[in-house]
A and B are shown apart, each in its own frame.
With several copies, the nearest count.
Chain A
Amino acid sequence: MQKIYPTAAAALDGFLHDGMFIAAGGFGLCGIPELLLSAIKDAGTKDLTFASNNAGVDDFGIGILLQTRQVKKMISSYVGENAEFMRQYLSGELELEFNPQGTLAERMRSGGCGIPGFYTKTGVGTVIADGKEHKDFPTGPNGAPETYIMEEGIFADLAIVKAWKADETGNLMFRKTARNFNPPAAMCGKVCVVEVEEIVPVGSLDPDAIHLPGIYVHRIIQGDHEKRIEQRTTRTRGAS
């Protein structure tokens, strides 16, 4: 069972079709599947729906697919950093479904775990709750009822994910806060393609330190990542 592919294009071959639903990992520009997004741009696949916490910036991340008008709809929690996004959204060319960030993460994990719906307090009494099923549970002090809304699991056609290391069987490790949405996104894809900085021989990773087992991973590519920094904040040496 060979999971390693030579290029992003090869790894996506057969998995792309117009109108499909893609779940993408990453938070801001951190831990995004930049090589796979670039390959989707080159493939020209249209009318895409993305579940992704953010929409990239104009020339990086999902932003590059907005430039080429390949995106029909975004399911995101925050899309502020992208002028082309805002233009298309305000002109009605692009659909946007806002999800609270934790709801989006849990919807991905739920879909991947075979859970089509779950209840959360997040968004109760806000526009997010409009049209959603409400239900009381006795979770308050002394069993007092509290109101929750139902959110649905996300079941995507494809998950695209960025990890740090993979072994040849697809066991993955992430690095620092670049883990973020990558594991839940990987879980909710019918198939999952992963780009990594390094592919290591099977047996090189500590079985107790694997963040996402290879069962979730169908194809892997290794590549060079730009890993752009969105907000470079520093302190001066010598300062506390």
Chain B
Amino acid sequence: MAARAAEELEDGWYVNLGIGIPTLVANYVGDKDITLQSENGMLGMGPFPFEGDEDPDLINAGKQTITEMDRTAYFDSATSFGMIRGGKIAAAILGAMEVDEKGDLANWMIPGKLVKGMGGAMDLVAGVGRVIVVMDHTNKHGDSKLLKKCTLPLTGKGVVDRIITNLGVLDVVEGGLKIVECADGVTEDELRAATEATIV
């Protein structure tokens, strides 16, 4: 999924990668000139440091130690989210608990469970140019995570542009989801069967 998501990124883009699978996308960008934003105040995020080179003043939005690059620029949190809210970030690749056929996204809280907070997720989905969700097509009970309507509290309403799952790639369009492609070895029927959302 991370490799497929990397194909979504275009040369010259400034991109924000969420925690989890989206983080892995960085490994697959190849020759494309992609600048990664870390929303705690950095453009040009580099890989983890070598052991012993960790700098407590240099972390990413997941609080992990990282490194800088030649192109790196630092700024404060108000400026950082100014560029997010202002649409300067071309794309965000994020995980999700649920997505629905109107592009609603839920990825920050499950009622009754421990709520840690939305962090920067609501800002990202509301602000960036293109929201790409990367997630498993179904939960561990086999239920579709691509729904007619999200049941969990939303992170954003009508914000998702594209969904990349282990079964395929779908776009949010007028009236529902549109299949862009099926994953290797997955038939369209299998993908439809695993999807609760309306497929148009």
CB distance from B50 to the nearest CB of A (A): 5
Contact A113 B50 (CB under 8 A): no
CB distance from B123 to the nearest CB of A (A): 3
Q: Tell me the interface secondary structure of chain B in the complex.
A: loop
Contact A233 B43 (CB under 8 A): no
Contact A113 B64 (CB under 8 A): no
* Residues 114-168 of B contacting A (Cβ, < 8 Å): 114-123, 126-127, 153-158
Complex contacts, A109 vs chain B, CB 8 Å = 78, 82
A98 CA to B70 CA, complexed, in Å: 36
Q: Say which one of A9-17, A35-43, A63-71, A213-221 lies at the interface with B.
A: A213-221
Known: A115-B85, A126-B153, A126-B155. A227 touches B57 (CB 8 A): yes
Complex contacts, A28 vs chain B, CB 8 Å = 40, 59, 63
A11 CA to B104 CA, complexed, in Å: 39
Chain A interface size, under 10 / 10 to 19 / 20 to 34 / 35 or more: 35 or more
* Residues 182-217 of A contacting B (Cβ, < 8 Å): 182-184, 187, 202-203, 207-208, 210-211, 213-216
CB distance from B52 to the nearest CB of A (A): 8
Q: Size of chain B's interface in residues, with CB distance under 8 A?
A: 71
* Residues 74-129 of A contacting B (Cβ, < 8 Å): 76-81, 86, 98, 100-103, 105-106, 108-109, 111-115, 120-128
Contact A79 B116 (CB under 8 A): yes
Known: A179-B41, A183-B78, A214-B73. A122 touches B153 (CB 8 A): no
CB distance from A156 to the nearest CB of B (A): 12
A236 CA to B51 CA, complexed, in Å: 6
CB distance from B116 to the nearest CB of A (A): 3
Complex contacts, B76 vs chain A, CB 8 Å = 105, 174, 179-184, 211
A134 CA to B116 CA, complexed, in Å: 26
CB distance from B95 to the nearest CB of A (A): 15
Contact A102 B54 (CB under 8 A): no
- 28 A-B residue pairings within 8 Å (CB atoms): A1-B12, A27-B41, A29-B56, A86-B114, A102-B81, A102-B82, A103-B123, A105-B81, A106-B82, A113-B81, A113-B82, A114-B84, A114-B127, A115-B85, A124-B157, A126-B156, A127-B153, A171-B71, A177-B40, A177-B57, A177-B59, A187-B86, A203-B70, A211-B76, A213-B73, A215-B43, A229-B59, A236-B51
Which of B's residues lie within 8 Å of A, judged by CB? 11-12, 14, 33, 35, 37-44, 47-60, 62-66, 68, 70-78, 80-89, 104, 114-123, 126-127, 153-158
Known: A103-B81, A215-B35, A234-B48. 16 other contacts (CB 8 A): A27-B59, A79-B116, A100-B119, A122-B123, A126-B122, A164-B57, A169-B35, A176-B42, A203-B71, A207-B73, A214-B73, A215-B89, A216-B83, A229-B56, A229-B59, A235-B50
